[in-house]
Amino acid sequence: MMKLHNTNEMLKDAQKKHYAVPAFNIHNLETFQVVVDTASEMRSPVIIAATPSTVRYADKDYLVALTGTAMEKYDIPMSFHLDHHEDVAEIESTVAAGCRSVMIDASRLPYDENVNKVKEVVAFAHICGASVEAELGKLVGQEDDLVVDDADSAYTNPEDALRYVEDTGIDSLAVAIGTAHGLYKGTPKLDFDRLTEIRQRVEVPLVLHGASDVPDELVQKAISLGICKVNVATDLKIPFSNAVKEFFKENPGANDPRKYMTPGKEAMKAIVKHKIEVCGSQNRY
């Protein structure tokens, strides 16, 4: 089995060449196949992201093995990444199983507690050759079991961002500039001035969470201002599930997963392709 990669080199390349690496949340074999097959067809680096509940559902050993198999099959940069994980023991267990890219989400904690928890993960992960992403500030909405209300949302402070990177030793920083997890009630308003200030102070790659349902032009402007990893989740789940529902509506007696999963995969593939184009990551390898 091929040894998995961290995200450091691909994010540094994106930062240098002013594009973004898409990070797609997967849930099972079908969604995994859509992401890696489409990325390979488009010659795009790709990050396969899994939330805590996805890891529990699909099992870390299967996910590590799937990524290793995909790396042997396709010659594009890819990485299996833990997205919004909060349990340090679970992170360490998955890194020990072969994962080499993790996001420790301590954003709900006070600054000092956030730093201490992230430093603990960084110390372990770096010994194993894994990259670490962390978040300063909170995004409204729900990601897996993590829920943040409007009143609790907080934008990333540019001055704190520099101190946070220095205090923790992280490899990439997720910033809160107005995006949210899930779907938006209206058109999101992103604080590009804040993003510019953060980019001027922070050298590590910057990450945009909550990019689903954000207009393409806003995502592309964020990339032009320094974002080099874009997370996509909700935009993938909805078309997949809608296509499967439509198949059953037209074929109520269907019972073959190979038949009813295929329309979902096709619908999701169209979105993956579009997001790769928005990120400008096609034909990079």
Which residue is associated with the tokens 């006070």?
110
Q: 188 versus 37: which is more confidently predicted?
A: 37
Residue pLDDT, tens place only, 80-107: 999 999 999 999 999 999 999 999 999 9
Whether the Cβ atoms of residue 82 and residue 103 lie closer than 8 Å to each other: yes
133: helix, coil or strand? strand
Catalytic residue set:
83
Residue pLDDT, tens place only, 45-71: 999 999 999 999 999 999 999 999 999
Q: Evaluate if pTM is beyond 0.85.
A: yes
Residue ranges of the binding site for Zn(2+): 84, 105, 135, 181, 209
Residue ranges of the binding site: 84, 105, 135, 181-182, 209-212, 231-234
What CA–CA distance (Å, rounded) separates 192 from 188?
Answer: 12
Q: 188 versus 242: which is more confidently predicted?
A: 242
Q: Considering the chain, what percentage of its residues have pLDDT values greater than 90?
A: 86
What confidence category does residue 145 fall into, taking pLDDT thresholds of 50, 70 and 90?
low
Residue 38's identity, in one-letter code, is: T
Specify the DSSP class assigned to residue 152.
G
Looking at the predicted structure, is the pLDDT value of residue 146 above 50? no
Q: How far is CA 107 from CA 110, 149, 212, 225, in A?
A: 8, 13, 20, 23
Q: Considering the chain, what percentage of its residues have pLDDT values greater than 70?
A: 92
Hey, what CATH class is 8-235+268-279 in?
Answer: alpha beta
Residue ranges of the binding site for dihydroxyacetone phosphate: 182, 210-212, 231-234
